[in-house]
Amino acid sequence: MSKERLERIEHNAERTVLLTKPPQPLVTISDNDFEWLIKQAGLGVSQQEQFHDYQAQNLRLQERLDKLEDKLQELRKRYLTLTKENNQVNDELIDEFRKNKRYREALEFYAKENNHVFWEDIREGENFVQLPISETDKGYIARKALEGEE
């Protein structure tokens, strides 16, 4: 409707020339059309101000978005670093659990009463000597449990 009315006003406008030096053109339109044009001009100004407000708001939001994206990038890097550190700690923890298991098994061997009760015949020269199994292993189980330690 607005575009059509504007075209109609433009078509119906009467152009005259004022006899001034230099001559100036004069356009005559109806009061209703004049009021409508003033209203449309006011709306245009209002829309233009609103457009500039939106542009400023959009610029602020874009700056905020840029800052948030930078922060997100920093957090991603930190996450990767922490993940690597966590994996290293997990690997170390697994190694400690394995070492603990070896120690526990060695201690359990030496703690079993049966390993001290049952005797094994060991030949020493021409004689046989009976020693508990826990002594005949000569610390083999303990050394095996401590393997890999400096």
**Neighbour-count burial of 63, counting CB atoms closer than 10 A to its CB (0-12 exposed, 13-18 middle, 19+ buried):** exposed
Each residue of 72-91: pLDDT tens digit?
A: 999 999 999 999 999 999 99
More confident residue, 122 or 26: 26
Phi and psi, residue 119, nearest 5°:
-110, 150
Judge whether residue 71 has pLDDT over 90.
yes
Separation between Cα atoms, residue 47 and residue 96, nearest integer Å: 71
Q: Kindly report, residue by residue over 98-111, the tens digit of the pLDDT.
A: 989 888 887 777 76
Question: What is the DSSP track for 81-112?
Answer: HHHHHHHHHHHHHHHHHHHHHHHHHHHHHHH-
